Amino acid sequence: MRRYIFGKNKLLTATMAVVTVMHTAAQAMVALMISWIIDTINEIIFTGDTSPIASIAILCVVFAVFVGIVVFSSMYLQGLWIKKIMLKLKNSLFHGMLHQPMDTYQNCNSAVNLTLLTQSVGTFEENYLKNSIKIFESALSIVMAVVLLFTINPMVAIISIVSMCIPTLLPQLFGQKMARRQEEVVKQTTDYTRKVKDSLTGYEVLKTYHAEPQNEAICRDQADAMESSKLKMTAANAMVYSVANISSVMVQLFIMLLAGIFAVRGLISLGNILAVVNLTSMVVSPAFDISGQITQLKSTQPIVNQMLTLLNISDASAPMSEVKRSLVLDNVTFSYSDTPVLAHASAQFEQGKKYAIIGKSGSGKSTLLKLLAGYYNDFDGNILVDGQADMQCDCAVIHQNVFLFDDTIRNNITLHGDYTDAQVQEAVYAAGLDEVVADLPEGLETNVSENGARFSGGERQRIAIARALLHRKSLLLVDEATSALDAENAAKIEDSILSLKGITCIAVTHKSDPKILARYDQVLRMENGMLSPERKIF
């Protein structure tokens, strides 16, 4: 993760580090400035010569302006650094989510990914990125302050170094506990997100069966568990900082007492006492802070592990190829976990022909289409595209369960691709969607709402069909595309699909109407995980 973060922004990281060093050095110089001013004023009191005051005032103004510029530059560069990393990280995580294997995606609840992209990345930004900067600043502060303390009094510097180890080491005892607390927060937040998402998605079911009170009670319990885990995390943080704070205050008071003793014995000046106090705070306070910062940084390990899983996903896949001659299933066997679906299935689909696959519900028809579409690659046997086993079909799919994005009809059809109005209108007409669009005031620019909520099931299906027809691929996979349509519109769309010239069409259907099946070049039956030609009786 460190290589991923720092390696992507080397120049910006180096610039930010230099400016941060200047910022910390300026803070350290304040202590020396105070010491010099106090000793100079003390000398003026004894000599009565006030001429140096004007020079001191001008120097103070110049130094203050310099510090202000450095502080602004440091904070701006840190913000820019975090922005670039977070933008790259979120885009990479989303990229990984979209390119993970289908079986991995299906076995992972979407609430896990939503929590990662919302709350977890926020926690990572605060506890990892910002703490990385703070740890660097704290380390710089300690080093510079110790060097300056040595110039004032080596004994005070040595005592400061020894003393700072106490508040630094004590909180490390809580490191593992903090990691466990953070892991619990992530888990409870994911569970709560999952339950709320399910409730909102299943709103109609809850409304129909008047199950709102029961569901509210479940969500309340889940919310309570989530907030309780956060409180435990806060309590663990409070314990870390309280222990470190106690030791920090004791160390600072001890060093101040020691500086006073040295001043009484004439070992250091009055100005040096104030410098020692300021420089000591630049040692002890950062030592106190750095201990908690490291503990918080380590607590993000569960989040980092989750991120690395997605960041390490390779989007390298088999090269895409359109079917130019044939698509062959050669002895294909596939199972979901331990449940066999296909068993030595074989078939050959010729380019440009239309095929229907029939069979009982649950026989594996839809799974077969998913294999042809390249959703799964953990099968035995071969799927040959024009005789090549290392190719993936470049195909269009009309899914049984239609999904529409919360966007316009046009964008749901084009998927933001570059298509002309004429091409879009042709697909709309072929899908039987033209009359629906004509009745809408905004036409194709009408927003469909979340998952097409403003349209009926049949209208949503026609939008999905227009989408597939527009992206004219040489292979069209159809999974019960007309199941939600009335007979007239179903016949119209099926006619459009069967009339597509030069396109191989493989359609899964539950309809066994002889007149419809007779229009296909071949009908295959899926049974016992195998494909066999259906004897034509129509």
Q: Which domains can be identified in the chain, with CATH numbers?
A: 2-311 (1.20.1560.10), 320-533 (3.40.50.300)
Which residue pairs, CB below 8 angstroms and at least 24 apart, start in 80-86? 80/12, 80/16, 81/9, 81/12, 81/13, 81/16, 81/133, 82/125, 82/129, 82/130, 84/8, 84/9, 84/12, 85/5, 85/8, 85/9, 85/129, 86/121, 86/125, 86/129
Mean pLDDT of 248-259: 72
Q: Which residues contact 451 (CB under 8 A, 6 or more apart)?
A: 403, 404, 406
Q: Is 104 helix (H, G, I), strand (E, B) or coil?
A: helix
Span 90-107, pLDDT tens digits: 888 888 888 877 767 777
Q: Between vectors from CA 342 to CA 337 and to CA 348, what angle results, nearest 5°?
A: 145
pLDDT grade, residue 72 (50/70/90)? very high
What are the structure tokens assigned to 433, written together? Answer: 């969607």
Decide which of 77 and 291 is more confident: 77
Give SS3 for 344.
strand
pLDDT band at 499 (very low <50, low <70, confident <90, very high): confident
pLDDT exceeding 90 applies to what percent of the chain? 10
Please answer whether residues 260 and 223 qualify as being in contact, where contact means their C-beta atoms are separated by less than 8 angstroms.
Answer: no
What pLDDT does residue 537 have? Answer: 46
Confidence of residue 170 (pLDDT cuts 50, 70, 90): low
Q: Which residues contact 186 (CB under 8 A, 6 or more apart)?
A: 115, 120, 302, 303, 306
Closest CA to 116 of 94, 145, 148, 140: 94
Interval 424-436 mean pLDDT: 88
CB atoms within 10 A of CB 108: 13
pTM of the model: 0.73
Q: What's the rounded mean pLDDT across residues 484-512?
A: 79
Q: What is the mean pLDDT of the chain?
A: 82
Is 295 within 8 Å of 303 (Cβ atoms)? no
Q: Which 3 state secondary structure label does DSSP give 455?
A: coil
Tens of pLDDT, residues 273-329: 777 777 777 777 787 778 778 878 888 888 888 888 888 877 656 677 888 888 999
Give pLDDT, residue 355: 92
How far is CA 56 from each of CA 41, 59, 500, rounded to the nearest angstrom? 10, 5, 88
Q: According to the model, what pLDDT value does residue 3 have?
A: 67
Which amino acid, one-letter code, is at 398?
I
Would you say residue 153 has pLDDT above 80?
A: no
Residue 175 has pLDDT above 60, yes or no: yes
DSSP characters over 8-68: TTHHHHHHHHHHHHHHHHHHHHHHHHHHHHHHHHHHHHHH---THHHHHHHHHHHHHHHHH
**Per-residue pLDDT tens digits for 58-69:** 888 888 898 889
Report the pLDDT averaged over residues 69-81: 91
| Conformational region of residue 352, where left means phi above 0, alpha means psi within -120 to 50, and beta covers everything else | left
At 117-151, the pLDDT tens digits run 888 898 899 889 999 899 998 888 888 888 887 88
Which amino acid makes up residue 272? N
pLDDT band at 228 (very low <50, low <70, confident <90, very high): very high
Check whether 538 has a pLDDT greater than 50. Answer: no
DSSP 524: E
User: What's the pLDDT score for residue 506?
Assistant: 92
Question: 251 with 284: CB under 8 angstroms?
Answer: yes
Residues 6+ away with beta carbon under 8 Å from 178: 233, 236, 237, 240, 295, 296, 298, 299
List, in order, residues 6 or more apart from 493 with CB less than 8 Å away. Answer: 430, 431, 432, 462, 465, 481, 482, 485
209 exposure class (CB count in 10 Å sphere: 0-12, 13-18, 19+):
exposed
